[in-house]
Chain A
Amino acid sequence: MSEKKIHDDQKYIDGLLKNNSFVIQAIYDKFAPKVTNYVKLNSGNVDQAKDVIQDTLVTIYNQAKEKGLQLTCPFDAYFFLLCKRKWLNTLKKNNKEVTINEVVLSEDDDTQELALETALFTEKQELFNEMFQKLGTACKDLIKATFKIKSMEEVAASLGITYAYARKKKSLCIGKLTKLVQESPKFNRLNY
């Protein structure tokens, strides 16, 4: 992955990361119509297309932020493939039997590989979310406060505990989450 050349379209990823309205707007103008068309051709409506596009952009943002996503293929192909799969998954979940009307699009190996990485990333995120919900309220609150406020001193003060205790507790809470995640069969399937 690291030896591959980064595609010029990385500018879209960087724009999303910077929350650059202009780039986000450009993504909608250039790439959303094709997705909307695809969803509409395959038993969906505009609102559903809107959700698919928004969810996909959030996933890309998360992957860029957490994993330093680097685009090795055109954004158009990658984005469309992600949206398409997301929509097909939605249809599958709703047990809808439909004939798929394919849109011809070249999906080369790089695009497939990158989309696979994103699919794995998404599954992991879902697992992490699920496991986070299993933590006790005290842990959840402390973790939320830590990353929201960013200064441990302020977090400690806001929760009425000492700085040292807040730090220790935060580490142990993430530790607990680590354990929960590692113990889940899904994680072992995803990680190896």
Chain B
Amino acid sequence: MEDQDYILFDDYITGELSKEERLIFENRLKSDSTFKKNFDTFKELSSFLENRFEPETNAFMDNLENISNAHFDGMEEGTEKRQKNRFFRYGQFAMAASIVILLGVFIFNQFSDPAYGDYNNHETISLTVRGVEDSVLKDAEKAFNSKNFTQAEMLFNKILSNDPSNLEVELYKSIALIETGQVGEADELLRGLSETNSAYGNKAKWYWAMSKLKQKEFEECVKILKTIPKEAKDYKRAEKLWKKLQ
């Protein structure tokens, strides 16, 4: 085997050959079986090395490890609990089984089509400033974080009646409106917010799109998602979502 052949193999694989050189190369593959055998092994090894060392593979391994850990950690916890209370073992088993089935159905549904439910794990909010006692703010925060959105909306209104320019609270109010199904009002609020130059403008665009997603107005949703600029925190998930929806 000539060193020159190895250089040629790599040039062919990486697309460095001219059209004419490629033709000559391919003809030689057809006529020279040793040359072809060597090329096949070389190519197989190139793919092997590429996959082994490229960063994507590492990313996959890390992700797999995390998902695996989460899956099995959850299982161990379940086992422990069952052992602690043997009396209810069967009942719990049935419950666990139905949860698994429900989760399965839920996941399967998610798999097929993106839905608002995939995205409504809202981050907890913090409205109170340390040292300042404001029971309405505190209650609103608590209601929102414990997903009591009807209560939260009411309290947000109270805050806004005293402080109508509080854009942060306006944003949270709109989330509460989406959650309680008052999407028309939410859309209005979010449209206004997304036009402001405030820190909440881009967040508002994301939630406006979420509202559209909830209403299954996918075209509108994509249109709004595409207005989220690259530097926004939500850009990545927005891009992912509109690609899925198209």
Binding site for B on A (CB under 8 A): 16, 19, 21-26, 28-30, 32-33, 36, 46-47, 50, 53-54, 57-58, 61-62, 65-67, 124-125, 128, 132, 143-144, 146-148, 150, 167-168, 170-172, 174-175, 177-179, 181-182, 187
Q: Are A53 and B68 touching (Cβ within 8 A)?
A: yes
| Other-chain residue from B42, B47, B60, B107 in contact with A25 (beta carbon distance below 8 A) | B107
Q: Are B47 and A66 touching (Cβ within 8 A)?
A: yes
Q: Are B59 and A19 touching (Cβ within 8 A)?
A: yes
CB B190 to nearest CB in A, in angstroms, measures: 26
Interface pairs A-B: 5 shortest CB-CB: A175-B6, A171-B10, A147-B53, A28-B71, A66-B47
Contact residues of A: prevailing secondary structure: helix
Q: Are B6 and A171 touching (Cβ within 8 A)?
A: yes
Can you list 17 residue pairs at the A/B interface with Cβ under 8 Å? A25-B107, A29-B100, A36-B75, A46-B72, A46-B76, A47-B72, A53-B68, A61-B60, A66-B44, A147-B50, A171-B9, A171-B10, A172-B7, A174-B49, A175-B9, A175-B42, A181-B45
Determine the distance from Cα of A32 to Cα of B104 in the docked complex, in whole angstroms: 13
Contact of B23 with A by CB under 8 A: no
Q: Are A174 and B54 touching (Cβ within 8 A)?
A: no
Q: Are B53 and A24 touching (Cβ within 8 A)?
A: no
* Binary CB contact string for chain B from 79 to 109 against chain A (1 if under 8 A, 0 otherwise): 0000000000000000000001001100110
Contact of B32 with A by CB under 8 A: no
Contact of B65 with A by CB under 8 A: yes
- Given A24-B67, A168-B7, A178-B6, are A62 and B72 neighbors across the interface (CB < 8 Å)? no
| Other-chain residue from B38, B44, B75, B107 in contact with A26 (beta carbon distance below 8 A) | B107
- Given A26-B107, A28-B71, A29-B107, are A66 and B51 neighbors across the interface (CB < 8 Å)? yes
Determine the distance from Cα of A57 to Cα of B65 in the docked complex, in whole angstroms: 11
Determine the distance from Cα of A192 to Cα of B164 in the docked complex, in whole angstroms: 78
Contact of B133 with A by CB under 8 A: no
Which residue of chain A has the shortest Cβ distance to B65 in the bound complex?
Answer: A54
B44 CB contacts on chain A under 8 angstroms: 66, 124
Contact of B196 with A by CB under 8 A: no
CB A2 to nearest CB in B, in angstroms, measures: 17
| Other-chain residue from A16, A33, A167, A174 in contact with B46 (beta carbon distance below 8 A) | A174
Q: Are A19 and B63 touching (Cβ within 8 A)?
A: yes
* Binary CB contact string for chain B from 199 to 240 against chain A (1 if under 8 A, 0 otherwise): 000000000000000000000000000000000000000000
- Given A24-B63, A29-B107, A175-B1, are A65 and B51 neighbors across the interface (CB < 8 Å)? yes
Q: Are B72 and A50 touching (Cβ within 8 A)?
A: yes
CB A1 to nearest CB in B, in angstroms, measures: 17
| Other-chain residue from B6, B64, B107 in contact with A54 (beta carbon distance below 8 A) | B64
Which residue of chain B has the shortest Cβ distance to A64 in the bound complex?
Answer: B51
Q: Are B51 and A62 touching (Cβ within 8 A)?
A: yes
Residue of A36, A54, A62, A174 with highest tally of chain B CB at under 10 A: A174
A33 CB contacts on chain B under 8 angstroms: 100
Determine the distance from Cα of A132 to Cα of B53 in the docked complex, in whole angstroms: 12
Residue of A46, A67, A167, A178 with highest tally of chain B CB at under 10 A: A178
